[in-house]
Amino acid sequence: GAVVSQHPSWVICKSGTSVKIECRSLDFQATTMFWYRQFPKQSLMLMATSNEGSKATYEQGVEKDKFLINHASLTLSTLTVTSAHPEDSSFYICSASFSGEGADTQYFGPGTRLTVL
């Protein structure tokens, strides 16, 4: 149980274009979803937290207008990288949690490798 999928698993795009990454909880209702960016040497940076039906809460230093997060349903959150540039190339990972017992545990998607040319 508690499976999270991400799509696409990898994407290559041209500089200036926008890319959308989907994160789905397949067998549970995700009250909260998190988006991370993973840098070389494995460091994991929390970008934002989103609750279903409300605006995402962004971490300090993360541009809201550049990284658009939508959490429209209890099973789907999307991250759109707008006007992508080479410095946005990274591994993006989402995670999800549910309410109630076990709400402190996150279930991660497999990640999306974004390469901006």
Summarize as ranges the residues that interact with another protein (CB under 8 A): 4, 6, 31-32, 34, 41-44, 46, 49, 51, 93, 95, 97, 103-111
User: Is the CB of 16 or the CB of 110 nearer to another protein?
Assistant: 110
Task: Kindly tell me the sign of the dihedral angle through the C-alpha atoms of 50, 93, 22, 17.
Answer: positive
| In the complex, minimum distance from the CB of residue 38 to another protein, in angstroms, rounded to a whole number | 9
CA distance 17 to 4: 26
Neighbouring CB atoms inside 10 A of 82's CB total: 15
User: Is the CB of 14 or the CB of 54 nearer to another protein?
Assistant: 54
| In the complex, minimum distance from the CB of residue 116 to another protein, in angstroms, rounded to a whole number | 19
Number of residues in the chain: 117
User: Is the CB of 1 or the CB of 86 nearer to another protein?
Assistant: 1
Which is nearest to 20 in space by CA: 92, 73, 95, 72? 92
